[in-house]
């Protein structure tokens, strides 16, 4: 999918399909009015006949009359003029693209960016249109022997703006394009099954991304991890026949010596629970337990494409969590790279066991901030559902910054508390800590565990268990939280 901007008026702009907004009741947006005047009143005639009333999300696809510069018109309802919300705007773009879906149209031009959406600026409207298009057009059929006939033909979306807006809009369109590409990468990696997307596969993908974008990369293997003393990470990995990998990626866009942001992604390519085996229902979805890792890979790619003047390190501990004669057993005590010992009371709480060693490894970069991204707890899905990601942090300014990146990107998160009081729940009779804290506040105690390994820097944690993929009929990776991460990084540039 290609995105671009243009500033030709609708009465002159040649396109296969023009997308025009209609307010309730039957009120034309300025672009719709301009085209209406140029094309003999076609739009107002349709409205008069009652074919389109401007209700949010309603659409009407018509062939434009001879003489009009466009071949087709999609009218899309926006509801009341003064009440266009984020969701109404995004739903309108989605509905318009769905209306075109069956037509074989390869290129469309949207005039919806002229619509006033609350306090949102043009950048937001452009970027969100790109994100919605990316979401609508994404398909994952690489493992089907017969490709879907209904594959969308659409491959180009032009966002129409005024000439004065061009400069700002260019940056927004580039960002939207980079985010969509990064989300598609993250979705693909998430959707790939565990027998294909293994730790080795993930490392090879990371190498390919690094090579294509001029990033430095290092992939540590079993022996290297042993030397580093990553006893916690290795204890999870040893239950599987697949060897673990620890991916270290460097993007140098900032000044030499400038402290980097470190992103850490949970890369469990399949989580069976281990000896504390999960129930069978929906266990297939645990192939998505590497979505944190995928979002880091995608964000590193986007960062390089946008050439942001920052230094960023991406860390991905990746392995499988399987039961076997060599697997962790409940009650086993392991020694983390930090030297702290951990009693593994539940082998299914493996994410924190691999992340804790990655967090200790992050210390060597003297990071300006560390963010880890993980499909960490089922409890987070219960607390926040599939709408927002969980956010926890040891620094309030950093938490605010991450929260704000969620707001500006539409990829939202919500902070949960991380008071010392929760540490109580991690007490162990036999080791420095247990790896589980009981049923109450499961998302918080998981972060309380991680916080013990993140004492030397500012750290935030994103629990994306509810947001990284969808279940049910629409099962599939979402590409989240790539938009949030890219906005966070872009926001760091201005400082």
Which residues are known to be catalytic?
278, 352
From CA 131, how far away is CA 178, in angstroms rounded? 10
Cα four-point dihedral sign 189, 190, 193, 198: positive
Tell me how crowded residue 245 is: count the other CB atoms within 10 A of its CB: 26
In the region spanning residues 249 to 288, those forming contacts with Zn ion, defined by CB under 5 A, are 268, 271
Is 377 one of the binding residues for ligand BES (CB under 6 A)? Answer: yes
Closest CA to 376 of 436, 299, 324, 440: 436
Beta-bridged to residue 494, according to DSSP, are none
> 305 or 350: whose CB is closer to Mn ion?
350
From CA 43, how far away is CA 34, in angstroms rounded? 10
In the region spanning residues 457 to 486, those forming contacts with ligand BES, defined by CB under 6 A, are 465
Instruction: Provide, rounded to whole angstroms, the least separation between the CB of residue 391 and Mn ion.
Output: 20
Angstrom distances, CA of residue 209 to CA of 7, 181, 185: 34, 12, 10
Is 463 one of the binding residues for Mn ion (CB under 5 A)? Answer: no
Is 350 one of the binding residues for ligand BES (CB under 6 A)? Answer: yes
Beta-bridged to residue 295, according to DSSP, are none
Instruction: Provide, rounded to whole angstroms, the least separation between the CB of residue 183 and Mn ion.
Output: 25
The one segment of 100-108, 322-330, 376-384, 402-410 that binds ligand BES by CB under 6 A: 376-384
Beta-bridged to residue 70, according to DSSP, are 15
Instruction: Provide, rounded to whole angstroms, the least separation between the CB of residue 376 and ligand BES.
Output: 6
Instruction: Provide, rounded to whole angstroms, the least separation between the CB of residue 356 and Mn ion.
Output: 14
Is 135 one of the binding residues for Mn ion (CB under 5 A)? Answer: no
Is 373 one of the binding residues for ligand BES (CB under 6 A)? Answer: no
Instruction: Provide, rounded to whole angstroms, the least separation between the CB of residue 205 and Mn ion.
Output: 23
> 351 or 406: whose CB is closer to Zn ion?
351
Is 91 one of the binding residues for Mn ion (CB under 5 A)? Answer: no
Site string for ligand BES, 304-343 (x = CB under 6 A): ----------------------------------------
* Pair type for strands 27-28 and 18-24: antiparallel
Is 289 one of the binding residues for Zn ion (CB under 5 A)? Answer: yes
Is 357 one of the binding residues for ligand BES (CB under 6 A)? Answer: no
The one segment of 205-213, 293-301, 325-333, 344-352 that binds ligand BES by CB under 6 A: 344-352
Contacting residues for 315 by C-beta, under 8 A, at least 6 apart: 246, 247, 248, 249, 262, 263, 264, 265, 296, 358, 361, 362
The single residue among 378, 400, 423, 456 that binds ligand BES, judged by CB under 6 A, is 378
Q: What is the 3-state secondary structure (H, E, C) of 401-439?
A: HHHHHHHHHCCCEEECCCCHHHHHHHCCCCCCEECCCCC
The single residue among 158, 375, 389, 425 that binds ligand BES, judged by CB under 6 A, is 375
From CA 245, how far away is CA 368, in angstroms rounded? 25
Cis amide bond preceding 481, omega within 30: yes
> 333 or 381: whose CB is closer to ligand BES?
381
Q: Which does 335 bind (CB under 5 to 8 A by kind): Zn ion, ligand BES, Mn ion, none?
A: none
Is 372 one of the binding residues for Mn ion (CB under 5 A)? Answer: no
CB 329 within 8 A of CB 278: no
Site string for Mn ion, 342-371 (x = CB under 5 A): ------x-x---------------------
Location of structure tokens 């293994």: 198
Instruction: Provide, rounded to whole angstroms, the least separation between the CB of residue 304 and Zn ion.
Output: 28
| Burial of 44 per CB tally in 10 Å (0-12, 13-18, 19+) | middle
Is 210 one of the binding residues for ligand BES (CB under 6 A)? Answer: no
**Quick one: DSSP state of residue 114?**
G
Is 381 one of the binding residues for ligand BES (CB under 6 A)? Answer: yes
Q: Which does 253 bind (CB under 5 to 8 A by kind): ligand BES, Zn ion, Mn ion, none?
A: none
In the region spanning residues 336 to 365, those forming contacts with Zn ion, defined by CB under 5 A, are 351
Instruction: Provide, rounded to whole angstroms, the least separation between the CB of residue 463 and ligand BES.
Output: 9
Q: Which two tokens stand for residue 280?
A: 């069978």
Closest CA to 70 of 48, 40, 39: 39
Site string for ligand BES, 275-294 (x = CB under 6 A): --------------x-----
Q: Which two tokens stand for residue 52?
A: 């389109």
Tell me how crowded residue 8 is: count the other CB atoms within 10 A of its CB: 15
Cis amide bond preceding 201, omega within 30: no
Q: Which residues are at the interface with Zn ion (CB under 5 A)?
A: 268, 271, 289, 351
Q: Which residues are at the interface with ligand BES (CB under 6 A)?
A: 271, 289, 346, 348-351, 375-379, 381, 436, 442, 465
């Amino acid at each position: 999918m290609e995105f671009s901007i243009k500033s030709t008026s609708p009465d002159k702009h040649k396109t296969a399909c023009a997308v025009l907004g209609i307010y309730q009741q039957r009120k034309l947006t300025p672009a719709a009015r301009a085209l209406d005047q140029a094309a003999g009143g076609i739009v107002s005639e349709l409205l008069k006949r009652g074919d389109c009333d401007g209700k949010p999300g309603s659409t009407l696809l018509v062939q434009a009359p001879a003489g009009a510069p466009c071949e087709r018109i999609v009218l899309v309802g926006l509801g009341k003029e003064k009440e266009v919300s984020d969701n109404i705007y995004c739903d309108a773009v989605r509905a318009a693209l769905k209306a075109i879906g069956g037509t074989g149209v390869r290129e469309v031009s949207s005039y919806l960016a002229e619509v006033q959406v609350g306090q949102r600026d043009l950048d937001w409207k452009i970027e969100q249109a790109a994100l919605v298009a990316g979401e609508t057009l994404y398909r994952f059929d690489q493992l089907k022997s017969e490709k879907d006939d209904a594959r969308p033909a659409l491959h180009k979306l032009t966002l129409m703006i005024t000439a004065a807006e061009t400069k700002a809009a260019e940056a927004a369109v580039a960002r939207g394009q980079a985010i969509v590409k990064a989300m598609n990468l993250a979705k693909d990696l998430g959707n790939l099954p565990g027998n294909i997307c293994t730790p080795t596969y993930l490392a090879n993908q990371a190498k390919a991304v690094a090579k294509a974008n001029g990033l430095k990369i290092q992939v540590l293997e079993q022996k290297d991890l042993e030397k580093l003393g990553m006893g916690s990470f290795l204890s999870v990995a040893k239950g599987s026949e697949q060897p673990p990998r620890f991916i270290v990626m460097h993007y140098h866009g900032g000044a030499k010596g400038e402290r980097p942001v470190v992103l850490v992604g949970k890369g469990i390519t399949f989580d069976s629970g281990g000896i504390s085996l999960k129930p069978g229902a929906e266990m297939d979805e645990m192939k998505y337990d590497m979505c944190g890792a995928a979002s880091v890979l995608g964000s590193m790619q986007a960062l390089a494409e946008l050439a942001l003047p920052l230094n960023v390190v991406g860390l991905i501990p990746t392995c499988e969590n399987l039961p076997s004669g060599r697997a962790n057993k409940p009650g086993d005590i392991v020694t983390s790279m930090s030297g702290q010992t951990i009693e593994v009371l539940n082998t299914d709480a493996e994410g924190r066991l691999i992340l804790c060693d990655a967090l200790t490894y992050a210390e060597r970069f003297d990071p300006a901030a560390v963010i880890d991204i993980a499909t960490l707890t089922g409890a987070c899905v219960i607390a926040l559902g599939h709408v927002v990601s969980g956010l926890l942090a040891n620094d309030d300014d950093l938490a605010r910054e991450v929260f704000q990146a969620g707001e500006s990107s539409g990829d939202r998160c919500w902070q949960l508390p991380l008071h010392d009081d929760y540490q109580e729940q991690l007490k162990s009779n036999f080791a420095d800590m247990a790896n589980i804290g009981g049923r109450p506040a499961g998302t918080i105690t998981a972060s309380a565990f991680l916080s013990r390994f993140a004492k030397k820097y500012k750290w935030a944690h994103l629990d994306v268990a509810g947001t990284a993929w969808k279940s049910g009929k629409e099962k599939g990776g979402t590409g989240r939280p790539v938009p949030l991460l890219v906005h966070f990084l872009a926001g760091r540039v201005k400082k």
